[in-house]
Structure 1
């Protein structure tokens, strides 16, 4: 039954297509010979059927089948189908000549006919297919009275492919292209005219009665996308965009899907392009363990490890729902890999030892952490227990088990800590340094800034506030942050892990800091509303532990380039291993007593550069100065 449906899926049964093509072969062979011999005074007899004609049909039919002429559908006939027909006609000529030569040495076969045969046959085979497709397309356009009229911004390859896809579905009617290339003005792409420039979208949309705008510029940079989006917003018409190829390949978008413009499309920095060959070479066929595997970073890290060669992944997660959800998603997308779910706290020695024993990992990614800055200011004990003491538990277990690589996922807030999150992460970095030696486990620290759309980040909060009608809350008009996407953060982690240094701190050149106020304004506009008119922005003041501006680099950490142009390696600051281990013992004892005053004092002693926001210590002449990259300025969205 399925085969029968497939035969009819193109609108014409396949048997009818075969009969049509053989009939055209007969017609061309007979017609050309009768025209050729018709000018002779005594033409030879030309029967309507003979063994010779049967051989021609058999030879040409076999070539049609071998070339794959009947795998395509008339409904979607295009240039590749015409090329297939040309090959079939050219190869068919050789097959016919060979067959007739063996049969009768080409007796009564005109050489002129042999020259014209493939050209004429190609025309009579290709024309019906293209006419049928044009007829079906016109029927869909005429019958689609409720189809949405759209303007396409960008008349390049993506725009041309989009028109072809839209015509297949029939629910959208392309009425024109807009493109800034002057050479395209007045031309047509797939029969759709190029009507003007992108900046004229509002006026042209009114003239053409367009109801939807589609941005078909998947390779446009952030600056160009902001200009295009601003023009679309002025028109007042809904707009969508064709996804980038990288989004399709990474599974974040479906081929042919029109997606909403996301805030990451407008960020003022180019995404990091990883060296996948180096990553696969390091990761291939390895067993890995990921703590915090149900979180935003942990789950994406599991997915990228699975996609790029890991053979086994152990998922350690304390949240049962997050663990179930992540494991189910991974098993659905990667059914051939082995996944070992472990429910428990990675700060529990028994849990982490069991996970290591079950998975026998060659690399451990420690993504489990508390990261909410204002909350951790009042939850010092849990911040230290999870971000520091649990890290010690996992790192020591890896060191004692001889695991090849331990990767600590840190934050830019650890560079010059002004809050509990930064201080605890800095102490976790120092702990890893104290455990490193040249013979054992390789300890790698990876720092990056804020992650877009991660749990608890500002973007989901703004989105929720916009849906509720506002106001959107921003702490301060001048506050800025560095941003990156979740997949990009995980690619950085894998790239840094693959570089190979035994003890290193890696950080990403994250471009320019983004003003949060402008981020909020742009998100409001992307929702089809106007800041200050439809959705207000309320300034609430900096929360506990928050700074106006974050820094990426510390003066005492000399930075050098790595094999990847966007990843820098810091020279770790010297630490006293014995002092770090003594501080950790005291912190563990104070944690067991839930002695917050002792914990605060011990944290300040262990991390001398920790200066809580709002508290100013006298500056010493030899105190380190925190710097960012030269010429770092906030860029508008």
Structure 2
């Protein structure tokens, strides 16, 4: 038993404490009408007492202050004036244990107004033989403010402090309650404490705060400690979980705090960010796992509003792959920039339904006048793409539709090419034919010196847009006459790495594995990846898409690469568990290394060459890379199409080797159909 728990069980919650708790419970259980009658009665008594005391202090004579003498009428009139005015000000509607500044204001206004009316009554009808000194009314007003307001502040503190004691005692008896420290003793911390009062699963025992002025003080009846004492507090208070209540703190500072807490035997969770709290989407008591964006430690750069809105505000915008992780976030950010129409192009019915429902709810809640158009189709259907772009006069296309899962595409080569390469080709050609002014391709760092099919397909997609952008008058592949095409489309590519929390990313998989008790599977001890949060990536994509002159390849600043094994270890530690390893064989969760999957590389890159220049945005760079002429690329695409039709996968690989700079395949062809045709092997899935 810990010393604090012994103290709570022995003296602090025995005898008088139980009587106090019983009285508090009875008061709280009273009907609202009875509570108001008690308040009115108490206020009447306090008004009489303050008036009597005002006479006594002014005249220094008990006989003169006697309400039964010639001033009895004043003692009757005072509460008849004050109580209705206090009620009119809303004082009796306020809940005492949650009383705030509005209730204090009601007391001040009610007392001042009633004192003014009382002074007027004395001036008009006061007895001439026993005049009432004017200062009596002033003293009475001051005393009434102190007594009536003080009573409510005292009762609020009584209920809140008693509530803290009740929570402590009940938690001391509830062996399964998690003992919690709140990091951050500001407004969010105190609100979180209040929100957790009725939580039987968590018991808040202390606050931590970096502000030395708060150390050794109390918030809500709990002490505020220096975070440097966290190791001692974990031992003495048996803390099992730390809740971060710092929604306005910079990410760099949050990362430093999380790094300090990650090595301790406690789970670390957080409350929502200030934007979510301010928008009303969530409440402070909605405790979450640590935002992995905090682990990156990068504070997002304030977006350039002019760049954000240049290709969106008042225009028709189309997003392909609108139901995917990046596509859906692009749609949300685009909606915030007030387009006229937002066209959602998606081949997965369920994903399309989800993003449409989400966006339409936002339109209703925010009172927007944006038209949402959901189109269920594939980017491999150029005729439908052209019909959609023409029918709605699309101004900007954000092409996010792609197969992105490296091992999946490696085993399904033809589908990856048809979707990523020819899907991009069809989108670009439809945009040319429909006269779409702006076309933005969402690319990936895996397009740089790829070791896999997915990376090759994304680099070919970039080459298609570069070729179309720099050709004097491009004749689209499969189109014989370009003379009737509208004005040139401005093609732009934006390349970045992994996004935290996207479908297929390691973060949700690690979370599931930790919740299941492990092991956490990592492909290789040294594998690293660049990471960015989905909202930051979407905002930068929109801004980069507005900057290009045509044919630009923009690269987002992804910060420092993250070692995946270190990320897995940190996620285990932040869950309050330990890593099972040779140095710690009794740990909770093991990390198992399962080997690189087909097409996977240890390190990702963002640039093919060193020719890169800065832009006006600090997180966006412009890359200058080798490109192919459109006529040459059309020949490559024709060869690639024939190879797919013939299931000639070695030929497909040879085309990649000829065209894609730096392509270094690190495994044999593992496409399922190729393996079946070559060996009769039907394949097994594991």
TM-score, with length taken from structure 1: 0.81
1:119 aligns with 2:168: no
> Using the alignment, how far apart are the partners of 2:648 and 2:548 within structure 1?
41
1:370 aligns with 2:403: yes
Contact 2:217 2:223 survives alignment (8 Å): yes
Could you tell me how far 1:169 is from its partner in structure 2? 6.3
1:494 aligns with 2:542: yes
Of 404-413 and 125-134, deviating more is 125-134
Aligned to 2:609: 555
Could you tell me how far 1:361 is from its partner in structure 2? 3.1
Superposition pairs of residues 144-163 of structure 1, within 5 angstroms: 144=167, 145-147=169-171, 148=177, 149-163=179-193
1:83-132 CA-to-partner distances (Å, cap 9, x unmatched) read: 554455456666777x6699679996744245435432322332232233
Of 517-526 and 277-286, deviating more is 277-286
Aligned to 1:620: none
- Going from structure 1 to structure 2, the CA distance change for 1:612 and 1:160 (only over 3 Å counts) comes to same
- Going from structure 1 to structure 2, the CA distance change for 1:297 and 1:109 (only over 3 Å counts) comes to farther
Contact 1:430 1:575 survives alignment (8 Å): yes
Superposition pairs of residues 30-69 of structure 1, within 5 angstroms: 30-31=51-52, 34-35=55-56, 38=59, 45-48=70-73, 56-57=81-82, 61=85, 65=88, 69=91
Alignment equivalent of 2:315, drawn from 286, 289, 293: 286
Aligned to 2:432: 399
1:78 aligns with 2:127: no
- Going from structure 1 to structure 2, the CA distance change for 1:612 and 1:342 (only over 3 Å counts) comes to same
Could you tell me how far 1:482 is from its partner in structure 2? 0.5
Partner of 1:365, secondary structure, is strand
Partner of 2:450, secondary structure, is coil
Could you tell me how far 1:405 is from its partner in structure 2? 2.2
> Using the alignment, how far apart are the partners of 2:127 and 2:458 within structure 1?
86
Superposition pairs of residues 361-440 of structure 1, within 5 angstroms: 361-436=394-469, 440=488
Could you tell me how far 1:408 is from its partner in structure 2? 0.8
Aligned to 1:635: none
Of 409-418 and 184-193, deviating more is 184-193
Contact 1:380 1:600 survives alignment (8 Å): no
1:570 aligns with 2:615: no
- Going from structure 1 to structure 2, the CA distance change for 1:118 and 1:391 (only over 3 Å counts) comes to farther
> Using the alignment, how far apart are the partners of 1:109 and 1:347 within structure 2?
94
1:175 aligns with 2:205: yes
Of 532-541 and 441-450, deviating more is 532-541
- Going from structure 1 to structure 2, the CA distance change for 1:111 and 1:351 (only over 3 Å counts) comes to farther
Of 281-290 and 454-463, deviating more is 281-290
Superposition pairs of residues 440-459 of structure 1, within 5 angstroms: 440-459=488-507
Contact 1:69 1:84 survives alignment (8 Å): yes
- Going from structure 1 to structure 2, the CA distance change for 1:425 and 1:87 (only over 3 Å counts) comes to farther
- Going from structure 1 to structure 2, the CA distance change for 1:167 and 1:463 (only over 3 Å counts) comes to closer
- Going from structure 1 to structure 2, the CA distance change for 1:353 and 1:146 (only over 3 Å counts) comes to farther
Superposition pairs of residues 501-512 of structure 1, within 5 angstroms: 501-512=549-560
Of 174-183 and 314-323, deviating more is 174-183
> Using the alignment, how far apart are the partners of 1:410 and 1:367 within structure 2?
8
Structure number with greater Rg is: 2
Alignment equivalent of 1:187, drawn from 192, 213, 217: 217
Please list every run of 5 or more consecutive structure 2 residues that lacks an aligned counterpart in the other structure.
Answer: 1-27, 172-176, 473-486, 668-686
> Using the alignment, how far apart are the partners of 2:326 and 2:600 within structure 1?
22
> Using the alignment, how far apart are the partners of 1:88 and 1:497 within structure 2?
60
Could you tell me how far 1:385 is from its partner in structure 2? 1.0
1:41-94 CA-to-partner distances (Å, cap 9, x unmatched) read: 999942426997599549x828x746x656642220135543554455456666
- Going from structure 1 to structure 2, the CA distance change for 1:416 and 1:102 (only over 3 Å counts) comes to farther
> Using the alignment, how far apart are the partners of 1:329 and 1:170 within structure 2?
33
> Using the alignment, how far apart are the partners of 1:281 and 1:555 within structure 2?
30
- Going from structure 1 to structure 2, the CA distance change for 1:10 and 1:177 (only over 3 Å counts) comes to farther
Could you tell me how far 1:37 is from its partner in structure 2? 6.8
1:349 aligns with 2:382: yes
1:245 aligns with 2:259: no
- Going from structure 1 to structure 2, the CA distance change for 1:30 and 1:280 (only over 3 Å counts) comes to farther
Aligned to 1:298: 327
TM-score, with length taken from structure 2: 0.76
Alignment equivalent of 1:481, drawn from 526, 529, 539: 529
> Using the alignment, how far apart are the partners of 1:288 and 1:10 within structure 2?
59
Could you tell me how far 1:179 is from its partner in structure 2? 3.7
Aligned to 1:537: 591
Count of matched residue positions in the alignment of Structure 1 and Structure 2: 601
1:472 aligns with 2:541: no
- Going from structure 1 to structure 2, the CA distance change for 1:169 and 1:465 (only over 3 Å counts) comes to closer
> Using the alignment, how far apart are the partners of 1:539 and 1:114 within structure 2?
82
